[in-house]
C-alpha cells in the first residue's frame, strides 16, 4: 500500500514510517497540511494518516479541503486529545477513524488494514477487468459470465489486484492482506495461491503476470 502521512512531530513521523515500512508499505511524509489536496490528485494513495495538530492549517481543515475536492480516500486521524466534541467534528468533516496518541504500532497497522478493506468493498458494486467480474460483497466471480469458485483468500487477493489493475502490486502488499502470514512461509503460500488463481481467471482473457523482483500485475490482456 501507499500511505500519505501528515505529521509535524518528526521523531513520531519517522517511527510511524518505520512501522508501516515493516509491513512492506510505502510512505510519503509531509509536515503540514497545505500540500495534501494536491498530493492526492497527483498520486494514487491507499490511505491518509493525518495529525490534527499541524502548523498552518490544522488536520481538520486539511481534511475538509480533501473531502471538498471529492476524495473518498480512507482517512485515519491522529490526536493527542480524545474529546467527544473533537471526534464528532472530525467525523462530520469526513474522518473514517481516530487513533489517540500514544498508540501501539500493532493498532495503527490494524486500523489501516480495516479502513482500506472497508473502502475497497464500497468502491464498486462489481469490479470488471476484461471479461472477468467480481462482486466484493457477495465474494463471487465470473469468467465470461460463468461462475468461478474461489476461496476466501483468493477473493481477497483477486479484489486487490482488480482494484489495482494495470499497476504492479508488490508481493508484500498481497501478503499483508492475509492475517497470520509472515516470512518465507507466506512467500511460498502466496506463490501457490496466485498460481491457483491464475488458472481460474485467465480463461477470461486477463493476464496475471509475475513481475520479477517486484510482484504481480493484472491486466485485461486479450479480454478487452
- Predicted confidence at residue 183, as pLDDT, reads 54
Sheet holding 47-51, edge to edge: 26-30, 2-6, 47-51, 75-79, 97-100
Alpha-carbon span 173 to 2, nearest angstrom: 9
- Predicted confidence at residue 180, as pLDDT, reads 66
Taken in order of first residue, the domains within the chain and their CATH numbers are: 2-122 (3.40.50.2300), 124-219 (1.10.10.10)
Q: What is the pTM of this model?
A: 0.57
- Predicted confidence at residue 81, as pLDDT, reads 75
Q: Do 220 and 204 touch, CB atoms closer than 8 A?
A: no
Residue matched to cell numbers 510505502? 26
- Predicted confidence at residue 19, as pLDDT, reads 95
Report the DSSP beta bridge partners of residue 135.
140
Alpha-carbon span 197 to 137, nearest angstrom: 19
Report pLDDT digits (tens) over 98-108.
998 999 999 99
Give the pLDDT means over successive 10-residue stretches in the chain (224 positions): 94 96 93 92 88 92 86 88 73 86 93 84 74 88 91 90 86 76 68 94 92 88 54
Pick the closest to residue 71 from 50, 44, 33, 91 (CA basis). 44
Amino acid at each position: 500500500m501507499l500511505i500519505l502521512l501528515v505529521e509535524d512531530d518528526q521523531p513520531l513521523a519517522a517511527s510511524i514510517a518505520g512501522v508501516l515500512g515493516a509491513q512492506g508499505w510505502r510512505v510519503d511524509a509531509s509536515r503540514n497540511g497545505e500540500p495534501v489536496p494536491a498530493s492526492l490528485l497527483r498520486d494514487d494513495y491507499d490511505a491518509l494518516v493525518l495529525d490534527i495538530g499541524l502548523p498552518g492549517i490544522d488536520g481538520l481543515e486539511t481534511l475538509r479541503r480533501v473531502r471538498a475536492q471529492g476524495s473518498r480516500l480512507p482517512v485515519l486521524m491522529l490526536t493527542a486529545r480524545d474529546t467527544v466534541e473533537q471526534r464528532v467534528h472530525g467525523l462530520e468533516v469526513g474522518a473514517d477513524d481516530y487513533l489517540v496518541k500514544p498508540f501501539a504500532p500493532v493498532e495503527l497497522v490494524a486500523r489501516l488494514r480495516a479502513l482500506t478493506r472497508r473502502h475497497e468493498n464500497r468502491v464498486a458494486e462489481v469490479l470488471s477487468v476484461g471479461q472477468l467480474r467480481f462482486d466484493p460483497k457477495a465474494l463471487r466471480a465470473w469468467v465470461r459470465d460463468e461462475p468461478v469458485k474461489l476461496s476466501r483468500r483468493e477473493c481477497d487477493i483477486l479484489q486487490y489486484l482488480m482494484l489495482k489493475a494495470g499497476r504492479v502490486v508488490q508481493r508484500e502488499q498481497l501478503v499483508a492482506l492475509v492475517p497470520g502470514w509472515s516470512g518465507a512461509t507466506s512467500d511460498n503460500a502466496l506463490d501457490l495461491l496466485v498460481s491457483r488463481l491464475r488458472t481460474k481467471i485467465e480463461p477470461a482473457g486477463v493476464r496475471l503476470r509475475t513481475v520479477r523482483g517486484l510482484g504481480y500485475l493484472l491486466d485485461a490482456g486479450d479480454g478487452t
